[in-house]
Amino acid sequence: MIPAGRPFPGSRGASFAQNLSRNLNTAPGLEKSHKQPASLKDSSQYPVKAKVSPQKLIERYMNGESDAVSLLHQLARVFQFHLEMKETIASDVPPPLPLKEESCVGGSCHNRPSYEAKVPVNMQIPHAVRAQLTRLMSFHPEFSGCADTIAAFVIQAGSECKVVALGTGGFNTRENISSNGRILHDSHAVVTARRSLMRYLYRNLLMFYSKNPTLSQQSVYQHKSNSNFLCLKSGISLHLYVNMMPKGAAVIPSKLYLNPLSISAWKVSNEIGLHLMVEGKLVSVFSSEVENLAFKVVSMSTADKITQWQVIGYQGALLSHFIEPIYAQSILIGDSCCSEVRGMEFSVCQRMEGVTSQLPMFYCMMRPLISLVPSVANCTPSSNQLTHCINWSEGDSTLEVVDGLEGKTVEESPFKSGTTLASRLCKAAMLHRFKLVAKEAERQDLLVASSYREAKRMAKPYQEAKSVLRAYLCQKGFGSWLEKFSVSDNFSK
């Protein structure tokens, strides 16, 4: 999040018309009307022979210097054959570009595919979120009006689903960028829930490195063979629930047919490209309004952030020093106003298709199962709590209430960290937990970091994955990611 007065690259990378054409050509029922002359074909479709020998590539893989996916792509270049891998953890997923289907005449559609019917919906997850929200509100009913917009992370182990992090809210702070790390600049529900998840992950790291065997056993982590990083125990998976469709490219208008004959390519580009959140308003990165956002706090849209986290993980840079990337296996949307998830499928999955081969080891584009489920929050916002945001994670004695416009804890909050009213989700609090874990893990190399920014930069694979992702989005014509304002990370405690 940065003031938008900084220069913003306007390059769209690849032509959007080219990207749209490629996607439409692969959609079911669409065929090319003519063959392209060989001389005009895109040379990027044909691999260039690599100079490294196959034996050397296999040795790197056996030594743990690359992963299996990267090895396959490298061997494809060596032997000059076309390799196409579907980056998915689930079968029966929608086509590369989700097309809006025409309405059926007479109520009969014999040839119409039904993707939603093939996606399993775990009804335990919304039930678990509702139960946890009800429990928290029963202790503090005066804040029930803050729970109209909610996001939650759920850990599933076997048949048991447990809410481990929860957040509400929908605001950016109106304050200037903080240089001491004690202001929350983005309090949207998914962001609040994700930072609460990070607190949960830190707490489990402290348990894992504890000298108490019982606590260590209760942690969600385990050592991974041939790796210095920890990973989630076998059989444990992470799921994301949101009760509103994330703002941004996930919200494709009902009349937007992704077809060049029905709408201009420019209009489509604005709809499915990257977006910014400015004072509660959604703005395309291609909009002329971007030039008039000087001195305002700006953040990327929720849909774009989820797209990023499904590639680089939800754990963030600091936790990446200790654990492998953690991805959501499913994203459940409890929005009663939504009837389809094609926009979310495109935003999170199709936009990043093909990026895995360029990512460092352990990182990939994790395609989640996306489905509609019942809503768990039917609260009407209280007029005097419209800007209030709630956060909670497993292990917390009570919830914390933050004023999203101020970026600080409110005086009436059941939990307050101190007289400064800095939230337990702020960057300074995260740096404190990072240092505690580094000390318990006896990682002296991490304790020498001079600032929050330096500690993040030291997570080189994570930073490389983030750079690859953002360059990939720009190259594919979805726009440039807004870079963070560096002064906000230049604090040491």
Q: Check residue 76 and give its pLDDT.
A: 75
Q: Tally the residues of the chain.
A: 493
Cβ contacts of residue 418 below 8 Å, gap of 6+? Answer: none
CA distances from 109 to 104, 115, 265, 340 (A): 6, 14, 29, 17
State the Cα–Cα distance between residues 361 and 5, nearest whole angstrom.
Answer: 36
For 105, the 3-state DSSP assignment is helix
For 119, the 3-state DSSP assignment is coil
Extents of the domains making up the chain: 2-26+122-489
Tokens of 445: 């190399």
In terms of phi and psi (left: phi > 0; alpha: psi -120 to 50; beta: otherwise), the region of 284 is: beta
- DSSP assignment of 318-380 equals HHTTTB----EEEEEE--TT----HHHHHHHTGGGTT-GGGSPTT------EEEE---S--PP
State the Cα–Cα distance between residues 458 and 447, nearest whole angstrom.
Answer: 11
Contact 247, 275 (CB under 8 A): yes
Q: Check residue 116 and give its pLDDT.
A: 37
Q: What is the residue type of 174?
A: R
DSSP β-bridge partners for residue 237: 156
Q: Check residue 377 and give its pLDDT.
A: 75
Give the pLDDT of the chain (493 residues) as one tens digit per residue.
544 444 444 444 554 444 444 444 444 443 334 444 443 334 444 444 446 787 877 877 776 666 676 777 777 777 766 666 555 444 333 334 443 333 333 333 334 333 333 334 468 999 999 999 999 999 999 998 888 899 999 999 988 999 999 999 998 888 766 778 999 999 999 999 999 999 999 999 999 999 899 999 999 999 987 788 999 999 999 999 999 999 998 887 655 554 544 445 556 667 789 999 887 788 898 887 777 776 677 889 999 999 999 999 999 999 999 999 999 999 999 988 888 898 899 999 999 999 999 999 999 999 999 999 988 876 666 656 789 999 999 999 999 999 999 999 999 999 999 889 999 999 999 999 999 999 999 999 999 999 999 999 999 999 999 999 999 999 999 999 988 766 678 888 8
362-378 tens-digit pLDDT? 999 999 999 999 888 76
Largest CA distance in the chain: 71
State the Cα–Cα distance between residues 322 and 27, nearest whole angstrom.
Answer: 41
Identify the CA nearest to 286 among candidates 76, 491, 473. 473
Identify the CA nearest to 427 among candidates 181, 198, 183, 192. 181
**Structural element, H or E, at residue 242:** strand 236-242
Q: Check residue 94 and give its pLDDT.
A: 36
**Sheet with strand 328-333: strands edge to edge:** 369-372, 328-333, 236-242, 150-157, 160-168, 388-393, 400-403, 408-409
State the Cα–Cα distance between residues 333 and 288, nearest whole angstrom.
Answer: 31
Q: Check residue 98 and give its pLDDT.
A: 41
State the Cα–Cα distance between residues 398 and 429, nearest whole angstrom.
Answer: 17
State the Cα–Cα distance between residues 160 and 173, nearest whole angstrom.
Answer: 37
Q: Check residue 119 and give its pLDDT.
A: 35
3-56 tens-digit pLDDT? 444 444 444 455 444 444 444 444 444 333 444 444 333 444 444 444 678 787
What secondary structure letter does DSSP report for 44? G
Q: Check residue 438 and give its pLDDT.
A: 97
State the Cα–Cα distance between residues 381 and 148, nearest whole angstrom.
Answer: 6
Contact 398, 140 (CB under 8 A): yes
